[in-house]
């Protein structure tokens, strides 16, 4: 006997199919996987944080670099300025030292030169003194000879210490002074006042006026005139002008208000006569 057919009931499309079901995972496996995943995520987080920190530090270093560079440039500039100033100071000191050494050397040379000149001057003065003494002896002998042959005149005795050089030096020191009628110095003279003052330097007292000076001493001819002789213009005893012969055809006198005390040539204004008192 045939069994009755059982009608087939269609399966629901939602019914699970074994071959398509995923196997159920157990708890330990899931935990392990979660741990691994967490570690990976932690590592990534640390790496990210480190990267951010490195980036921030790099940015910070980049931001600080211009400041450090600017400070370094300032320090270099200051160091260069200090070096330049030190070099300038050293050069200035070297120049000062050189100038001081040069000045000291020049001072030493000047001192030696001054000593040499002083010594030469001393020798020249001694030679002049000896020459003046010899000249005084010679003039004394000449006056004696002239007195024997010349007419009598008012004689002025010259002291033994008299020096023609002293008289001439005094007269030359007055060159350029003014002429003033009746002047007797120290900066203004007339002709006889100057002659009187010059001979007074060696102890010879001459009369004050030209007329008397023209006959004071031993008369000499103009051809025999010597340095220190008194020249006069006009007649002896009534001369109107006097001067002193200084050699080389020249005489020194207080000429007039326009010239003052000057040195002149005898050829331009020849004297009338001369007398010798030294």
**In this structure, is residue 6 part of a structural domain?**
no
Write down which residue in 122, 138, 168 finishes a domain: 122
The domain spanning residue 263 has which CATH number? 3.90.1720.10
Residue 132 near residue 161 (C-beta atoms within 8 A): no
Residues 169 and 219 in one domain: yes
Confidence (pLDDT) at 91: 84
Q: Is residue 154 located within the same domain as residue 118?
A: no
Range of the domain at 173: 150-276
As for how many domains the chain has, the answer is: 2
Residue predicted with more confidence, 188 or 54: 188
Q: Are residues 109 and 160 in the same domain?
A: no
On whether residue 143 sits in a domain, the answer given is no
pLDDT: is 114 or 163 the higher one? 163
Q: What is the pTM of this model?
A: 0.47
* pLDDT tens by residue, 11-23: 555 445 454 455 5
Q: Are residues 49 and 96 located together in one domain of the fold?
A: yes
Same domain assignment for residues 164 and 219? yes
Residue-wise pLDDT for 149-197, tens only, equals 444 444 444 443 458 999 999 999 999 999 999 999 999 999 999 999 9
């Amino acid at each position: 006997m045939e069994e009755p057919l059982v009608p087939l009931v269609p399966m629901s499309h939602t019914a699970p199919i074994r071959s398509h079901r995923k196997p159920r995972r157990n708890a330990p496996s899931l935990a392990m996987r979660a741990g691994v995943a967490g570690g990976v995520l932690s590592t990534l987080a640390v790496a990210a944080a480190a990267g951010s920190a490195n980036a921030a530090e790099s940015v910070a270093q980049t931001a600080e670099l211009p400041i450090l560079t600017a400070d370094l440039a300032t320090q270099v500039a200051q160091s260069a300025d200090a070096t330049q100033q030190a070099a300038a100071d050293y050069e200035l000191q070297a120049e000062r030292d050189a100038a001081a050494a040069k000045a000291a050397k020049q001072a030493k040379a000047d001192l030696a030169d001054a000593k040499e000149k002083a010594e030469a001057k001393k020798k020249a003065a001694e030679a002049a003194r000896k020459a003046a003494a010899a000249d005084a002896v010679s003039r004394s002998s000449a006056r004696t000879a002239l007195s024997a042959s010349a007419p009598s005149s008012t004689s002025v005795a010259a002291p033994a210490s008299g020096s023609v050089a002293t008289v001439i030096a005094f007269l030359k020191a007055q060159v350029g002074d003014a002429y003033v009628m009746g002047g007797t110095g120290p900066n203004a003279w007339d002709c006889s006042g100057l002659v009187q003052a010059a001979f007074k330097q060696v102890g010879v007292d001459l009369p004050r006026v030209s007329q008397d000076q023209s006959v004071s001493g031993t008369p000499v001819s103009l051809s025999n005139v010597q340095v220190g002789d008194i020249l006069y213009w006009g007649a002896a005893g009534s001369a109107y002008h006097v001067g002193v012969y200084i050699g080389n055809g020249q005489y020194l006198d207080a000429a007039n208000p326009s010239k003052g005390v000057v040195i002149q040539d005898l050829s331009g204004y020849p004297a009338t006569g001369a007398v010798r008192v030294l």
